[in-house]
Structure 1
């Protein structure tokens, strides 16, 4: 089953309904990755108060964490774009999700402000990797006539993830989960969820630029 280039430069399918089901599954998994990516970005602001109390950090220092992650993420975008062009985008998305999951986990176990800052910087690397790969994969996987709809769903699920991440963090922030501070537990839970999404993306999604099974 291969994709061929037509006169307009778009990719066209061959292989029938089974191939279409795999493409639909890929779109679903990519949207799940988008949800987790946006949820991860929104998690930290939801626990600012509890994090500040725990690490004795001022509001200014807490705000600098998001700034640091954004700067690292911005600087990594060119490299992320290179990976999305020259490598299997499914593997890039899975790797990026694993990186941000590891960094998110370490935020939850950090005991100093410096440790949190380093973890958030590494988190920016993982978050940057997935965005160009997700957007270009959606463009290729979606049928040309439904490409706008596909990107609309991508924006919807991304914003849904942002809302979920913030609400989830706020609800857990002031609680205790099995003896663990709620704000720490929120990072652990999101990290574990991101690992699961990374696994399913790697195993079940496809990049139409590559033959099945080739990474």
Structure 2
């Protein structure tokens, strides 16, 4: 078995055409994941009206009910992904979360919907760690920033389908139809995963032993010893707290404060977000590869600077007096958020070490999701309930302003991570 250590890197086994083909499939999988996760955002208002629940309870629906198993199951799934067939893990996970998304459309009460969301979160725990682990194997280090940047574009692709397509379906046929609209395609996509992806470990002589190797506890100790991983994880917690705590309520904000209809919010804001995400992901992936060729600390400096710039820009947007002004001013911070994401994961894969790629993603997402995604929407919803009681529908604005301020310490943490980068890096 030791001879396998002398084999060439996995990425040399594939042609460029094969690599980009595999990335295209993983892009579709990730798009389905974000699409099924984000559809709840656009239909919060009709759900609130039908079930007569508070914003804090909506935060529980969008956050903790999804995050509880999404975060906790991510660790054993990542452990499995560092040893077993990642193609199978992704295919099974995709089938599970797509099925539960469809079941969301049949919920007849708030708690039924919450239970189905728990199932979606449990399934999606098998999406990101094995996918990023495969990308790191498919592509050489000098191309990973661009590959991860393109993979991260799937977040906005899913967001766009959920926002634009889901809003139109919900407006025409009701919010339940929107869940079915985004869930059913995932069941067909699972077949493409099983037939179209390659697992390097299944090739002759490259099988990874299912026993032995680094334990999950050893992986955690190795990662925790790296200051860069600690700073990155803390920054991601705050980043998720804003991304899911505040941004989840943006559609509700636009409908309540500006009086816009669901279909128009989905079309206009969704289109803006899509353009910003595509441009930002491409530019961010290209920029981090180019800048790191000069100084590798740019994988920390770039996201740190963008996070610090995003907070004031996003607050200015929230204070705009009209819907169209809000959408226009939201473009620069949306562009920055998309551009910084490839750097975060480039940094993670640079310092984690090859034996624990999937585990490092799962550890980081465990804390980021459990705290940021799980608690962020509840806090934002509770603040919205408080300010709404004092100021009426416009109170949600001040809830979002407060939460967005957390981008500032997140930026500081990323700048701090640059100090230890050279000692943290592990091939």
Calculate the TM-score normalised by the size of structure 2.
0.44
Q: What does the per-residue CA deviation read over 1:152-208, in whole Å, with 9 as the maximum and x for residues that have no partner?
A: 1011222222233223222222222xxxx3x11111121111111111111111111
Task: Assess if the C-alpha contact under 8 Å between 2:166 and 2:181 holds in 1.
Answer: no
SS at match of 2:199: coil
| Structure 1 Cα separation of the partners of residues 125 and 11 of structure 2 | 29
Task: Assess if the C-alpha contact under 8 Å between 1:50 and 1:174 holds in 2.
Answer: no
SS at match of 2:105: helix
Cα distance, 1:58 vs. partner?
2.9
SS at match of 1:109: coil
**Whose helix fraction is larger, Structure 1's or Structure 2's?**
2
Structure-2 residue corresponding to 1:109: 106
Root mean square deviation of aligned Cα: 2.3
Unaligned runs of 5+ in 1: none
| Structure 2 Cα separation of the partners of residues 190 and 83 of structure 1 | 28
Structure 1 position 148 matched with structure 2 position 150: no
Structure 1 position 87 matched with structure 2 position 84: yes
Unaligned runs of 5+ in 2: 208-427
Task: Say which structure, 1 or 2, has more relative contact order (CA 8 Å, 6+ apart).
Answer: 1
Structure-1 residue corresponding to 2:162: 165
Count of residues paired in the alignment: 201
Cα distance, 1:54 vs. partner?
2.7
| Structure 1 Cα separation of the partners of residues 120 and 110 of structure 2 | 15
Task: Assess if the C-alpha contact under 8 Å between 1:69 and 1:123 holds in 2.
Answer: yes
Structure 1 position 45 matched with structure 2 position 41: yes
Structure-1 residue corresponding to 2:121: 124
Structure 1 position 72 matched with structure 2 position 69: yes
SS at match of 2:198: coil
Cα distance, 1:36 vs. partner?
1.0
Cα distance, 1:12 vs. partner?
4.5
Select between 161-170 and 103-112 the one with higher mean Cα deviation: 161-170
Task: Assess if the C-alpha contact under 8 Å between 2:37 and 2:120 holds in 1.
Answer: no
| Structure 1 Cα separation of the partners of residues 5 and 145 of structure 2 | 20
Q: Which of residues 194, 197, 215 in structure 1 aligns to 2:189?
A: 197
SS at match of 1:13: helix
Structure 1 position 208 matched with structure 2 position 222: no
| Structure 1 Cα separation of the partners of residues 162 and 190 of structure 2 | 17
Q: Which has the larger radius of gyration?
A: 2
Task: Assess if the C-alpha contact under 8 Å between 2:32 and 2:158 holds in 1.
Answer: yes
| Structure 2 Cα separation of the partners of residues 96 and 21 of structure 1 | 26
Calculate the TM-score normalised by the size of structure 1.
0.84
| Structure 2 Cα separation of the partners of residues 39 and 139 of structure 1 | 24
